[in-house]
Structure 1
Amino acid sequence: MDEQNNQQPFDGVRVLEVGTLLAGPFTGRLLADFGAEVIKVEPPDRPDPLRKWGKEKNGHGLWWPIQSRNKKSITLNLRVPEGQEVFRELAQEADIIIENFRPGTIEKWGLSYDTLSERNPGLIMVRTSGFGQTGPYSKRAGFGSVGEAMGGLRYVTGFPDRPPARLAVSIGDQLAALYATIGCLTALHERTRSGKGQVVDTALYEAVFATMESLVPDYLLAGYVRERMGNEIPGVAPSNIYATQDGTHIVIGANADTVFKRLCEAMRRPDLSTDPKYATHHARGENMKELDALIESWTRGMNAKECLALLEQYGVPSGLIYTVKDMLEDPHYQAREMFVNVPHPIFGDFPMPGIVPKLTRTPGGIRWAGAEVMGQHNEEVYMGLLGYPKERVEEMKLHGVI
């Protein structure tokens, strides 16, 4: 970081996060990584289920400290009138609200955007839901898995002789969070001109659908429905996994003409790059299976380390299929600071992923792991930010407001 500038990009930006689990809180994490003051709001009697999701150690979830890093934790019951009024006061002091309840929920609590923006016209509300805030499906419950299915990703994932598969991560929620973050930053930038906030409406299924490349024109203009193809990409070759002598699979991506030529040189088969069956991108796509078989017959003649060294020498994109153990042992991951140890009250040094993307001057930082104690920052927020006397905070606690 520039020694003359210890500020972070979102210093002075205050965020109220009232969502649970994945999509909304992941948006909050991204903003918090770059300096936003993110205040995580949980009902006093209903902790965010993510506190217990994933693997546990000594009764503590190992996902929570990552998802909630850099966030302050307060409790507030939005289902009671006093809690709703307190939230309106908090919203007056906020730049951004993140919520991912089913549409209509916050309106039922008297916390609609129109209501909150009357007191704070510059307020930005980031709303993530299964199907968006409008349309005939808007009131339906929707998790990331449903968004992945409806958005088209599940249908094309897996092998053609088996039912649709899922990725082993919550990709639908994370895609929605990324699009929600883009929308949030867009609205934040526009506010510098207009002085006005707005609603960012992100639907899980739309976030997935937006990544589906040429799916629509493929069907409408070429009559083609993309199907499951395992490790292949329709019409893109060579781009697959290939077995080596030691039983390892490596990835090779050499579908561009110039890269394919370099692969042919590495294979000592320069004739393949001028063969009409493989000389062009279209031709390689048409003859994908035959070409993949030729490449794998070559990769099987070496162990993975030898093969990858040769491919690197010729400038052909390639790599191992990493497990987490491989990642931890990889010097490039380490050089890029992709593993960070953060102090934790229970685990000591807690390992978690580093920050993405990398900014040269204001790279962000991980200041603390997710608060293990619900309401850890109640006094700081209610007494410091809102100026409540200690007696009122104690009374709110006694009556289940916080």
Structure 2
Amino acid sequence: IEPASDGMVALCCVTGQQWQDLCAMIGAPEFGDDPMLFGFIGRLERKEEVWERIHAFTSAHTVDEIVDLASAFRIPCGPVGDGLTLPGYDHFVERGVFVDHPQGFIGPRPSIGFSESTLAPRRPAPALGAEGDEPEDGPGPALGTDPARPLAGVRILDLGTFWAGPVAASFLRVLGADLVKVESHVRLDGMRWATGFQRDHLWEWSPGYHGANPGKILVALDLTTDAGQEVLGTLLDTADVVIENFSPRVMDSWGVTWDAIRGRNPRAVYLRAPAFGLDGPWRDRVGFAMTMEQVGGLANRTGHPDGPRLLPQGPVDMFAAMHSVLAVLLALADRERTGTGQLIEAPLIEAALQASAEQVVEASAYGNVLGCLGNRSPAASPQGLYQVAVDDRWLAVSIESDAQWANLQGLVDGLDGLDRHGDVDRIDEVLGAWSRGQAGRESEERLWQAGVPAAFCVHPNHSGGTAQHGFRGFLQWYEHPVTGSTPYFSYPFLVDGAHLTLGGPAPTLGQHTDQVLESLGLDEAAIARLWEQGVTDDWPVGVPRP
């Protein structure tokens, strides 16, 4: 999030092409040619130098000027939204994203749209103590008979890229569906390049790719070729669900439109999850989860009150993925009733707006524009991060009740007589001085034993590796052909006391191509021709073979 001449502007460079285009846009092409700046680690090491050039450009232009230019370069960008400005953006106005609530405020509509189904209208929440509407009698539509594999027999065609689409498809596969992922060896799934590793077969080392694609069957196809399109068409003919999250123009250019799918496979459910939706002024803009956090208001609440707006760093992908999973389940259940599939629109930005909805509700109902609170919370006080005796190691404390506050007072000297809501600055000073004399994990245990919610902060590299995770079998280990023994996170729920199996490691590029092609009826000679013609491969185009 950078300063413009009339406000703040959001920019997000994930791919190497986006970084080079940004350098060209700000008049610093030498940065784009500098090998040290190809990766984010090098940019961080020279951040002051890089920021100076970026700020010199952005501060000389308005938000609209920067967004127009960055959009022409296809760099993810946008204005930085808050509760007051979000409802007025032309894209949201044209698409009718914000709606009146029966109780007198506005908020985002549901994030998912269906071509054939109509969602129930918004109703007032019941008053405190009142009873809500009773659900209809009788069981709902059932999908499968095995609680651990309710989607057994359902075929998923995964055309997704990066994170939101592949994660949604992965969850459906873990629920029992058969899945084939299509990926181009000409232009790899961009998440394959999101890695800090510098080693051979770099595209097989991305933690993000591994996390989004465990256990998948992968076929490599160049969909710009007629032969690749023919194979794709055969896969579409038998798919129950098709998932993609490119910008709309990509699937349109490949002819993978709703009309085309419905014409050849009326029972198919087609989920499209572009950044900003299938229509509207921002339709063709690209964006990642971080872009949605910038534009959609989450960054407006992340940071210290007197500091810059920061990014939550990616949770919107998971929001959108889970919304998409629910939408697919609803559409499949409805297909049991109607016999036909439908188009689902699940824009990334509208998932973000669900998470930031309180800002629009608060502004429309009371005129309050919410901003950053740092590590504090309106629901807990005191709450914060406090450095322990070890350098750059932190202890999180969050007090939600007077009983917890009394427990903390009994453990930490200097808190007696302080009001937990009115003396927060002084409380932070006392807790900060106390924590600097603590050893970290020992202090976490002392606080927990005293009835105080606390946690020792761990580096993301170690997330999922606590003793509690180990006891519950959260990590699933699989042998990958390139990365060796590799841990994968389970989904955060148990069925009959166990995590659902992920089924294997993430696939290598083109790992199952022949297997998939054979299942479609291609003989050995036909498959060989596809390899010879470059329609398929197990090596990225443009990367020299050793």
TM interval, shorter chain, is 0.7 to 0.9
Looking at structure 2, the residues matched to 85 and 25 of structure 1 have their Cα atoms a distance apart, in angstroms, of 23
Give the aligned partner of residue 399 of structure 1.
533
Give the aligned partner of residue 377 of structure 1.
512
Give the aligned partner of residue 293 of structure 2.
148
Sequence identity of aligned pairs in percent? 27
CA 1:220 to 1:360, structure 2 compared with 1: closer, same or farther past 3 Å? same
Q: Which amino acid aligns with 1:181?
A: V
Q: Does 16-25 or 386-395 show the bigger shift?
A: 386-395
Is 1:105 matched up with 2:250?
Answer: yes
| RMSD, aligned α-carbons | 3.0
Decide whether the 8 Å contact of 1:130 with 1:205 is kept in 2. Answer: yes
Instruction: For 1:212-291, list aligned pairs within 5 A.
Output: 212-234=356-378, 236-244=380-388, 248-267=393-412, 277-278=419-420, 284=421, 287-291=423-427
Is 1:175 matched up with 2:319?
Answer: yes
Q: Among residues 141, 160, 166, which one is paired with 1:19 in the alignment?
A: 160
CA 1:300 to 1:142, structure 2 compared with 1: closer, same or farther past 3 Å? closer
- 1:163-218 Cα distance to aligned partner (Å, 9 max, x none): 22223x43333332232222222322333333332222222222122112521122
- 1:280-322 Cα distance to aligned partner (Å, 9 max, x none): xxxx2x5533443454455456544453333222332211011
Looking at structure 2, the residues matched to 151 and 219 of structure 1 have their Cα atoms a distance apart, in angstroms, of 15
Looking at structure 2, the residues matched to 336 and 213 of structure 1 have their Cα atoms a distance apart, in angstroms, of 34
Q: Which amino acid aligns with 2:266?
A: P
CA 1:362 to 1:138, structure 2 compared with 1: closer, same or farther past 3 Å? farther
Give the aligned partner of residue 34 of structure 2.
none
Is 1:51 matched up with 2:215?
Answer: no
Decide whether the 8 Å contact of 2:191 with 2:206 is kept in 1. Answer: no
Is 1:350 matched up with 2:486?
Answer: yes
- 1:43-79 Cα distance to aligned partner (Å, 9 max, x none): 2422223223213344332323333211111122322
Looking at structure 2, the residues matched to 326 and 299 of structure 1 have their Cα atoms a distance apart, in angstroms, of 22
Aligned residues: 387
Looking at structure 1, the residues matched to 147 and 327 of structure 2 have their Cα atoms a distance apart, in angstroms, of 26
TM-score (norm 2): 0.64
1:131 Cα deviation (Å)? 0.4
Decide whether the 8 Å contact of 1:38 with 1:70 is kept in 2. Answer: no
Is 1:166 matched up with 2:166?
Answer: no
Is 1:84 matched up with 2:262?
Answer: no
Q: Among residues 419, 444, 469, which one is paired with 1:308 in the alignment?
A: 444
- 1:95-115 Cα distance to aligned partner (Å, 9 max, x none): 111111211332333221122
SS at match of 1:46: coil
1:393 Cα deviation (Å)? 2.6
SS at match of 2:273: strand
Decide whether the 8 Å contact of 1:355 with 1:365 is kept in 2. Answer: no
CA 1:294 to 1:217, structure 2 compared with 1: closer, same or farther past 3 Å? farther
Structure with bigger RCO (C-alpha 8 Å, 6+ apart)? 1
Looking at structure 2, the residues matched to 240 and 330 of structure 1 have their Cα atoms a distance apart, in angstroms, of 22
Looking at structure 2, the residues matched to 294 and 119 of structure 1 have their Cα atoms a distance apart, in angstroms, of 68
Give the aligned partner of residue 350 of structure 2.
206
Decide whether the 8 Å contact of 1:35 with 1:365 is kept in 2. Answer: no
Give the aligned partner of residue 331 of structure 1.
467
Decide whether the 8 Å contact of 1:144 with 1:171 is kept in 2. Answer: yes
Is 1:75 matched up with 2:210?
Answer: no
CA 1:305 to 1:363, structure 2 compared with 1: closer, same or farther past 3 Å? closer
Looking at structure 2, the residues matched to 162 and 148 of structure 1 have their Cα atoms a distance apart, in angstroms, of 17
Looking at structure 2, the residues matched to 49 and 217 of structure 1 have their Cα atoms a distance apart, in angstroms, of 36
Looking at structure 1, the residues matched to 151 and 437 of structure 2 have their Cα atoms a distance apart, in angstroms, of 53
Q: Does 19-28 or 357-366 show the bigger shift?
A: 357-366
Looking at structure 1, the residues matched to 285 and 464 of structure 2 have their Cα atoms a distance apart, in angstroms, of 41
TM-score (norm 1): 0.85
Q: Which amino acid aligns with 1:48?
A: D
Q: Which amino acid aligns with 2:269?
A: I
Where do 5+ consecutive residues of structure 2 fail to align?
Answer: 1-145, 537-546
Where do 5+ consecutive residues of structure 1 fail to align?
Answer: 279-283
Looking at structure 2, the residues matched to 108 and 329 of structure 1 have their Cα atoms a distance apart, in angstroms, of 43
Looking at structure 2, the residues matched to 127 and 105 of structure 1 have their Cα atoms a distance apart, in angstroms, of 11
Looking at structure 1, the residues matched to 447 and 389 of structure 2 have their Cα atoms a distance apart, in angstroms, of 15
- 1:250-283 Cα distance to aligned partner (Å, 9 max, x none): 11121234443444455589976xx8x44xxxxx
CA 1:200 to 1:270, structure 2 compared with 1: closer, same or farther past 3 Å? same
Looking at structure 2, the residues matched to 318 and 182 of structure 1 have their Cα atoms a distance apart, in angstroms, of 33
Q: Which amino acid aligns with 1:379?
A: D
